[in-house]
């Protein structure tokens, strides 16, 4: 039997795959990978796993403990061939659905990947439950399902409020994914895990995910910040998020069916982040002018529409998307996950400057290693 994991080639998903392989040596993984053949699937997995292991260990683990299923969340039936689908249904004993579109600007992408894709995964899980039973279905959601909030501490019990408006298509579709899980798999133990702003790894500065990092760097370079210094940012490191996902999914009994993977009331304010950056050696001295927030929004809107060769449209576009989350001064209570893990996440001030330096010094790219020339590629999925 195997854990069916989607999103292993993504940022959080690669951490989850590595955590399961490292910490649960008796588990087998069934990985859905978007690729035209097994060789491309392995090469995509190698690219995603380079933060976590060297090539010999990767090759050993992916060849001995991973079943690769070539498919796509946006294809009917996940694009699986009949024989592959039958095998997957027969051999999976639980699901971690980590794959998602985070494209907050595109309703089409979010609806196709998040809604249609999740529906296909749920139908697959339904068949497995009817055939032999499932131990658990874990849905990696987001605190963004809480909708528009202001200056709140949000608990798991009051996260989803259908009367509240959503910030963007990503939040809207992920909220409905949670709803589909409860409606379509009422007889399967369901677990909803909601990360807050996932930014960097508390153990080292390297990262392969730069969207939010670009916005962070852009703000860090501004001498004037249009925010109130006491607004809080609920930032959590990816290593803590992945540890929580692996631990909670694998635990036999859980006290709750939903957990915020967040920093909660320990979240830092803008002032605390700025002070930490200065202590670490960041040369920019910031001044807070919250009255400029409206004007700043208009500048970002204008900059996001400039020609790409000017070099400001991409960070401005990302900043435009994330601005609602940067100004709502809302955090998400994390007592459930802290109690379950016995530890709180590392504070962002401990690793913020290292992340900043890595992103700037490497021009927002990770130095990926190519597939070694002498290594044979996989022939059979």
Tens digits of residue pLDDT in 74-86: 999 999 999 999 9
Q: For the chain, list the domains and their CATH numbers.
A: 2-198+235-265+329-345 (3.40.50.720)
> Mean pLDDT score of the chain, rounded to an integer?
93
What is the mean predicted confidence (pLDDT) over 106-123? 91
Confidence of residue 312 (pLDDT cuts 50, 70, 90): low
CA–CA separation, 231 vs 269, rounded Å?
5
Helix (H, G, I), strand (E, B) or coil at 32: strand
324 within 8 A of 167, measured Cβ to Cβ: yes
Confidence of residue 302 (pLDDT cuts 50, 70, 90): confident
Residue 328 predicted with pLDDT over 80? yes
CA–CA separation, 350 vs 237, rounded Å?
11
What is the mean predicted confidence (pLDDT) over 176-193? 97
Alpha-helical segments (H) within the chain: 11-23, 38-49, 55-65, 82-91, 107-109, 117-131, 169-184, 211-220, 238-250, 270-280, 293-304, 313-327, 335-341, 352-361
Give pLDDT, residue 247.
98
Please state, in angstroms and as integers, the Cα–Cα distance from residue 72 to each residue in 81, 93, 100, 352, 381, following that order.
Answer: 11, 21, 11, 35, 15
Express as a percent the part of the chain with pLDDT over 90. Answer: 81
- Greater confidence (322 vs 124) lies with 124
Residue 379 predicted with pLDDT over 50? no
CB contact burial 299-331 (16+ within 10 A = b; e otherwise): ebeebbeeeeeeebebbbbbbbbbbbbbbbbbb
- HSE on the CB side for 297, CA within 13 Å? 11
Residue 309 predicted with pLDDT over 80? no
Residue 27 predicted with pLDDT over 70? yes
Q: Are strands 287-288 and 224-225 parallel, antiparallel or unpaired?
A: parallel
Alpha-helical segments (H) within 105-148: 107-109, 117-131
Question: What are the pLDDT digits (tens) for 237-246?
Answer: 999 999 999 9
Question: What are the pLDDT digits (tens) for 139-177?
Answer: 999 999 999 999 999 999 999 999 999 988 889 999 999
H or E segment to which residue 70 belongs:
strand 66-70
- For residue 338, give both structure tokens: 């802290």
Residue 46 predicted with pLDDT over 50? yes
Helix (H, G, I), strand (E, B) or coil at 378: coil
198 within 8 A of 236, measured Cβ to Cβ: yes
Question: What are the pLDDT digits (tens) for 190-213?
Answer: 999 999 999 999 999 999 999 889
Confidence of residue 72 (pLDDT cuts 50, 70, 90): very high
- Judged on CB neighbours under 10 Å (0-12, 13-18, 19+), 133 is exposed
Task: Measure the N-to-C terminal CA separation of the chain; round to a whole number of Å.
Answer: 16
């Amino acid at each position: 039997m195997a854990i069916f994991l989607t999103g292993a080639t993504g940022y959080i998903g690669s951490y989850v795959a590595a955590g399961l392989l490292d910490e649960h040596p008796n588990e087998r993984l069934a990985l859905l990978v978007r690729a035209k053949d097994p060789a491309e699937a392995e090469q995509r997995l190698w690219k995603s796993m380079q933060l976590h292991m060297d090539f010999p260990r990767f090759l050993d683990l992916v060849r001995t403990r991973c079943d690769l299923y070539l498919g796509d969340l946006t294809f009917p039936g996940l694009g699986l061939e009949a024989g592959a689908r039958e095998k997957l249904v027969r051999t999976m004993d639980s699901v971690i659905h980590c794959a998602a579109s985070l494209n907050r600007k595109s309703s089409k992408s979010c609806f196709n990947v998040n809604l249609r894709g999740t529906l296909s995964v749920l139908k697959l899980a339904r068949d497995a439950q009817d055939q032999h039973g499932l131990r658990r279905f874990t849905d990696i959601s987001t605190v963004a399902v809480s909708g528009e909030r202001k200056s709140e501490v949000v608990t798991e019990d009051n996260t989803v409020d259908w009367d509240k408006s959503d910030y963007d298509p990503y939040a809207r579709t992920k909220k409905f994914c949670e709803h589909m899980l409860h409606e379509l798999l009422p007889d399967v133990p369901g677990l909803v895990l909601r990360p807050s702003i996932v930014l960097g790894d508390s153990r080292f500065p390297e990262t392969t995910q730069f969207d939010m990092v670009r916005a962070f760097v852009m703000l860090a370079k501004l001498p004037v910040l249009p925010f109130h210094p006491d607004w809080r940012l609920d930032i959590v490191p990816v290593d803590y998020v992945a540890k929580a996902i692996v631990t909670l999914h694998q635990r036999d009994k859980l006290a709750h069916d939903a957990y915020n993977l967040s920093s909660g009331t320990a979240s830092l304010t803008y002032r605390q982040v700025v002070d930490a950056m200065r202590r670490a050696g960041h040369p920019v001295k910031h001044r807070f002018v919250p009255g400029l927030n409206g004007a700043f929004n208009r500048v970002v809107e204008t900059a996001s529409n400039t020609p790409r060769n000017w070099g400001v449209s991409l960070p401005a576009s990302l900043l435009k998307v994330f601005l609602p989350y940067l100004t709502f001064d809302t955090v998400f209570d994390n007592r459930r996950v802290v109690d379950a893990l016995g530890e709180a996440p590392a504070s962002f001030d401990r690793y913020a400057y290292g992340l900043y330096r890595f992103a700037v010094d490497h021009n927002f790219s990770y130095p990926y290693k190519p597939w070694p020339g002498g290594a044979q590629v996989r022939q059979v999925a």
